[in-house]
Amino acid sequence: MASSNISIFQSKKISLFLNISFLLLLSVFLKTHIFPSNTSLLHLSLGTTTISSVSNPLFLRSIRTDGCTGLQNYQDYEYKCLYVKRHIGCRPKGYISYLQFFYCNFGQFPFLGHVVLLLWLLVLFYLLGNTTANYFCSSLESLSKIMKLSPIIAGVTLLSLGNGASDVFASIVSFTRSGSGDVGLNSVLGGAFFISSVVVGIISILISSRHIAVDKPSFIRDVLFSLFSLISLFLIIAIGKINLWGAICFASIYFVYVFAVSATHFFCRNEETSNSNQDTGEIAIPLLGSVDDEKPILLEKTDLEEQLQIPSFLHLNSSTCYYFGKILHVLELPLQLPRRLTIPVVSEERWSKPYAVISVTLAPLLLAALSNTQRENVGLRSSLVTYLTAGLIGMVFGNLAFVTTKNSTPPKRCLFPWLAGGFLMSVTWTYIIAEELVSLLLSIGHIIGINPSILGLTVLAWGNSLGDLIANTAMAINGGTDGTQIAISGCYAGPLFNVLMGIGLSLVLSSWSVYPSYFVIPTDPSLFETIGFLIGGLLWALVILPKKNMRLDRFLGGGLLTIYVCFLFLRLARALGLLNLHGTSFKL
């Protein structure tokens, strides 16, 4: 119990740090907009004296070029500030112009600007993971119960969606908002490579002394589907374009996989029933056959963290501790309150009628705001009509919620609309946060002079996969034989879902937007290297595990880690200009 309280207190400290950081960042943002610096006013004099000082041929020529690549041609932060303001290619892909914020407000203090962007990056990663864990996954779990899905189907559909939501939405945002998809492709492939190589490698090394074996047919099935999906993606990228039907076929591979998993599970269950009286000797649980055991571990979130307002060692009967706890609670509100006021929650532990009424009232307004920002050239009249319609719908929903719900318990009947609303709004928030995260990574790439795809392959992929590393490793160490096999299960089923649904759904939406034409996929030779190394890691496991009687050991883990380290060294060396493998200058 003491270790649990310490763990909760540590998580509270992290949450408190991020909330305070958010307040500081908000203060800086408001200050720079209410009291802009002299640099931010530079463009106002563009038509008089300033135009003569900046209108050199190189500047004007770079203004007209596509993208924001000309930014690195200037050393003076004032020129960079003017460039990002006047250049269409430097416009933000999200809601905040980070390039303008950095160069026009922190041009003289770049270190401080980097610190601000780093803090905001941490806040966005926290929001993305917290929204997925506390809202998205809980909605999926409740929906699976309402829809009465079998554990195996829920595991390979809703569970995979819950665990891979960050990658899926980051990929969709990258394709639909940035127009290129580089960040989305690299983040999904980078995350899949990290999980299937690093996480599996670490688990194999840590539990090598236990001689645990995984089920051979299930493992081979998962790896073969992964190889087939990666080879299909390789061909799509090599062709360089895809139509709507091709994108649908690629995404449909996952539904074939779901059918194969269900058939395998049904066959294994019948075989176990017929051989129930025989001594099988060594335990070998199917990789996805234990997803019903995995589900509570991955999806059920304890509410101790929310109930605990102050650290355990401050639980004293004094007004000082009481007010200190209230202060901590208030400091945690900035990041929690906006989502709590717009996402309906109907769980027993977190039920609150005031929050429920307010959330169903404000949710349509948030959707209206998002709709207006996604559309181009929206007139004032059209925008006003959208908000008025959303406000009217919100008032109707709010009154219905107020009349039909109780203060003490969440609704028991007509639960599906509540869960569907919570699912929709959690998806909305996840999309908004992922959109801003991708926009920030693109801006950081321009600031430090590195292709944003590298940041997607490393920073975004690692950030989205960190939870898998911690959860699966802890499950393997502390969960015994069953926990180890459940952890290995997620290391292959999860990335497969991210590749087929994350990239597949992104291709479907992108090709739909240009239908009946072909959607042109950006040419990036580094994608072939990523897929090649990822296939190499899968083949290594496919060859070594059967030779080791499906036992996880140090040789398997060391090989997987070596493959990933070699890949990472190659990409970083090329990013730093130390390697040039394509014969021409290619800057990542």
Q: pLDDT (tens digit, 9 = 90+) per residue, 171-222?
A: 777 776 655 567 778 888 888 899 889 988 998 888 888 888 877 887 888 8
The arithmetic mean of pLDDT across residues 534-540, rounded, is 93
Tokens describing residue 183: 């960040």
Q: Output the pLDDT for position 586.
A: 36
- In 3D space, the residue among 135, 119, 94, 131 whose CA is nearest the CA of residue 19 turns out to be 119
The arithmetic mean of pLDDT across residues 87-111, rounded, is 79
Could you give the residue ranges of the DSSP H alpha helices within 300-352?
304-307, 319-331, 333-340
- In 3D space, the residue among 416, 368, 428, 426 whose CA is nearest the CA of residue 394 turns out to be 368
Question: Which DSSP helix (H) or strand (E) runs through 550?
Answer: none
The arithmetic mean of pLDDT across residues 389-417, rounded, is 88
Contact 169, 506 (CB under 8 A): no
Question: Which DSSP helix (H) or strand (E) runs through 46?
Answer: none
Going by pLDDT thresholds of 50, 70 and 90, the confidence category of residue 150 is: low
101-105, 144-148, 404-408, 494-498 — which is least confidently predicted?
Answer: 144-148
Q: Which residues pair with 87 in a beta bridge?
A: none
3-state secondary structure (DSSP) of residue 213: strand
259-263, 402-406, 487-491, 527-531 — which is least confidently predicted?
Answer: 487-491
pLDDT above 90 for 326: no
Question: Which DSSP helix (H) or strand (E) runs through 241?
Answer: strand 241-242
Tokens describing residue 300: 């059920």
pLDDT above 90 for 290: no
> Higher-confidence residue: 364 or 266?
364
Distance CA 426, CA 180 (A): 26
> Higher-confidence residue: 22 or 539?
539
- Domain ranges, ordered by start, for the chain: 162-272+434-588
**DSSP labels, 57-74:** HHHHHHHHSSTTGGGGG-
pLDDT above 50 for 307: no
224-233, 286-295, 386-395 — which is least confidently predicted?
Answer: 286-295
Burial code (b: 16+ CB inside 10 Å, e: under 16) for 475-500 equals bbeebebebbbbbbbbbbbbbbbbbb
Going by pLDDT thresholds of 50, 70 and 90, the confidence category of residue 4 is: very low
Going by pLDDT thresholds of 50, 70 and 90, the confidence category of residue 483 is: low
| Ramachandran angles phi, psi of 519, nearest 5° | -85, 125
- 2-34 helix and 319-331 helix, angle to the nearest 10 degrees: 60
- 554-575 helix and 525-547 helix, angle to the nearest 10 degrees: 170
Q: How far is CA 118 from CA 25, 296, 444, in A?
A: 11, 34, 9
> Higher-confidence residue: 322 or 88?
88
The arithmetic mean of pLDDT across residues 345-365, rounded, is 88
Q: Output the pLDDT for position 543.
A: 92
- In 3D space, the residue among 481, 485, 496, 148 whose CA is nearest the CA of residue 291 turns out to be 485
The arithmetic mean of pLDDT across residues 125-131, rounded, is 82
- In 3D space, the residue among 457, 428, 499 whose CA is nearest the CA of residue 230 turns out to be 499
> What value, to the nearest 5°, has the Cα angle with vertex 201 and ends 197 and 202?
125
Close Cβ partners of 9 (under 8 Å, ≥ 6 residues apart):
308, 311, 312
Contact 196, 540 (CB under 8 A): no
**DSSP labels, 361-405:** HHHHHHHHHHHHHHSSS--HHHHHHHHHHHHHHHHHHHHHHHHH-
Distance CA 126, CA 170 (A): 14
pLDDT above 90 for 395: yes
Q: Output the pLDDT for position 219.
A: 84
- 353-374 helix and 380-404 helix, angle to the nearest 10 degrees: 160
Distance CA 95, CA 105 (A): 17
pLDDT > 70 fraction of the chain, expressed in percent and rounded = 70
Contact 458, 371 (CB under 8 A): no
Q: Output the pLDDT for position 437.
A: 82
In this prediction the pTM is 0.69
Contact 173, 373 (CB under 8 A): no
Q: Output the pLDDT for position 31.
A: 65
| Ramachandran angles phi, psi of 213, nearest 5° | -110, 145
> Higher-confidence residue: 56 or 110?
110
Tokens describing residue 51: 């135009």
Q: Output the pLDDT for position 566.
A: 92
Close Cβ partners of 16 (under 8 Å, ≥ 6 residues apart):
328, 331, 332
Q: What is the dihedral of CA 346, 351, 357, 360, to 10 degrees?
A: -30
The arithmetic mean of pLDDT across residues 290-309, rounded, is 39
Q: Output the pLDDT for position 46.
A: 42
Going by pLDDT thresholds of 50, 70 and 90, the confidence category of residue 375 is: low
Cβ-based burial of 66 (10 A; exposed 0-12, middle 13-18, buried ≥19): exposed
- In 3D space, the residue among 188, 193, 134, 192 whose CA is nearest the CA of residue 166 turns out to be 188
- In 3D space, the residue among 115, 17, 121 whose CA is nearest the CA of residue 460 turns out to be 121
268-277, 371-380, 487-496 — which is least confidently predicted?
Answer: 268-277
Q: Output the pLDDT for position 291.
A: 39
Query: What does the chain come to in residues?
Result: 588
Q: Average pLDDT of the chain?
A: 75
CATH 1.20.1420.30 is held by the domain 162-272+434-588: yes
| Ramachandran angles phi, psi of 210, nearest 5° | -90, -15
The arithmetic mean of pLDDT across residues 297-323, rounded, is 47
Q: Using one digit for the tens of pLDDT, what is the confidence trace for 30-81?
A: 666 665 555 444 444 443 334 334 444 444 444 444 457 677 777 777 778 8
3-7, 122-126, 220-224, 364-368 — which is least confidently predicted?
Answer: 3-7
Q: Output the pLDDT for position 324.
A: 64
Going by pLDDT thresholds of 50, 70 and 90, the confidence category of residue 151 is: low
Q: Evaluate the CA torsion angle 434, 29, 452, 54 in order and state its sign.
A: positive
Q: Output the pLDDT for position 226.
A: 92
> Higher-confidence residue: 223 or 463?
223
Query: What spatial distance separates the first Cα and last Cα of the chain, rounded to whole Å?
Result: 49
